[in-house]
Amino acid sequence: MRLDLSGRTALVTGSTQGIGTAIAAGLASAGARVAINGRSAPGVRAAIDGLEGDGFVAAPGDVSTDEGARQVLAAVPDVDILVNNLGIFGAQQPLEITDDEWRRYFEVNVLAAVRLTRAYLPGMMTRGWGRIQYIASDSAIVTPAEMIHYGVSKTALLGVSRGFAKSAAGSGVTVNSVIAGPTHTGGVEDFVYQLVDKSLPWDEAQREFMRLHRPQSLLQRLIEPAEIANMVVYLSSPLASATTGGAVRVDGGYVDAILP
């Protein structure tokens, strides 16, 4: 298959590290011009310097705020591909999650994506082509006891994705969510060590985490960011023109269900 995104402009939120960086690299390798987003200009510049190729532009701004979103829109007024990757997570006892923390998770994980979709979708529909994706999580379906607020925010993204797909019906714009399973990133390494013995070497810690906290994974290892990026690049391509309104799983078989 030829995944050709030449002439397309993409924005990947939260793309200075982890899954976001892998997605940005994958889109660029398919020919897209990719806007790298993070809260600070120096952080965005450092991320671009670490990527191969010259098809990247800087779009700094905290998109969980109105002002930050305006900064990003000024840097990239129109995009063909929007990947709402920005997200926060962390372990916390359910009864200790405050109202302010619940609000913070929804501002970052849900409303930031809604805000940018509202800004970019009309232009895509006018041009008759576009791709919007939301990076969700297995936690959207299998709510983890140690981070209910995170899981519920990702569940909300599935509804956001399906709803906006309906609003874009017949326009040539596809809207999907990607259900990412437990993925190996720096942030996840920190999270793993919150739950297992900190003295364990990483390979042992990872196996212990999967055994104790994610035993239903059929992959039986953490997913690499590039494996998530591969699905995002495909869904961003013309080859995925008939896939919309979906929740596509890249979860290593973690979710014990036939659908979605």
Q: Taking residues 210-216, report their average pLDDT.
A: 90
Could you tell me how many residues make up the chain? Answer: 260
Q: What is the pLDDT of residue 254?
A: 92
Q: Let me know: does 54 contact 25? Beta carbons within 8 Å.
A: no
* 254 is an active site residue: no
Given 105, 120, 150, 254, the catalytic residue: 150
Q: From the options 3.30.420.40, 3.50.50.60, 3.40.50.720, 3.40.50.150, give the CATH code of 9-182+224-250.
A: 3.40.50.720
Return the closest-CA partner of residue 29 out of 260, 218, 229, 246: 229
What's the pLDDT band for 141 if we cut at 50, 70, 90? very high
> What average pLDDT score do residues 217-244 get?
96
Domain ranges (residues) in the chain: 9-182+224-250, 184-222
Q: What is the pLDDT of residues 28-82, one digit of tens each?
A: 999 999 999 999 999 999 999 999 999 999 999 999 999 999 999 999 999 999 9
Write the secondary structure of 50-112 as one string of H (helix), E (strand) and C (coil).
CCCCCCEEECCCCCCCHHHHHHHHHHCCCCCEEEECCCCCCCCCHHHCCHHHHHHHHHHHHHH
Q: Give residue for tokens 């929740």.
A: 247
Q: Which residue has the higher pLDDT, 136 or 220?
A: 136
Q: Please write the tens of the pLDDT for every residue from 168-194.
A: 999 999 999 999 999 998 878 888 998
Mean pLDDT of the region 20-24? 98
- pTM confidence score: 0.94
Residue 260 has pLDDT above 80, yes or no: no
In the block, tokens 């899954």 appear at: 19
Distance of CA 70 to the CA centre of its chain: 20
Percent of the chain with pLDDT over 90: 88
pLDDT at 72: 98
- What's the rounded Cα separation, in Å, for the pair 212 and 99? 29
Q: What is the mean pLDDT of residues 78-95?
A: 95
For 171: left if phi > 0, alpha if psi spans -120 to 50, otherwise beta; the answer is: alpha
3-state secondary structure of 238: helix
CA nearest neighbour of 26 among 16, 17, 34, 37 = 34
**C-alpha dist (Å) from residue 151 to 92, 156, 159:** 12, 9, 13
